[in-house]
Amino acid sequence: MRARTFCLLAALVMPALAAAAGIADLSNRDAVAGLKEALVKGSQVAVQHLGAENGFFGNAKVKIPLPETLKKVEGLRRTFGMASRPTNWCCA
């Protein structure tokens, strides 16, 4: 939520700053640097929130559901009591 708010705020502030300073005073380099900084900070906030416990799996907006073809395998794993084991079989 904060990442979205930050990006929205950056999108509203950047044009206001450009208008206040005058378009001629804002160089392409300054605009690129400002956008890069907004992307870096937004990415850091998103990773911080999604990397927290249940940050990804607890958020329905960003959670990627299990494909239908693998849901059958998941059911079999639960049937045989393997639900608590890691799913990365190749690396376990």
As a whole number of angstroms, the distance between CA 68 and CA 16 comes to 47
CB burial readout 66-91, b (16+ within 10 A) else e: eeeeeeeeeeeeeeeeeeeeeeeeee
In this predicted model, what pLDDT tens digit does every residue of 19-56 receive, in sequence order? 655 666 778 888 899 999 999 999 999 899 888 888 88
State the pLDDT confidence band at 68, using cuts at 50, 70 and 90. Answer: confident
Query: Of 43 and 65, which is predicted with more confidence?
Result: 43
35, amino acid identity: L
22 Cβ contact list (under 8 Å, min separation 6): none
Domain boundaries, the chain: 2-79
pLDDT exceeds cutoff 60 at 92: no
Are 6 and 42 in contact, with CB atoms under 8 Å apart? yes
pLDDT of residue 62: 84
pLDDT of residue 90: 47
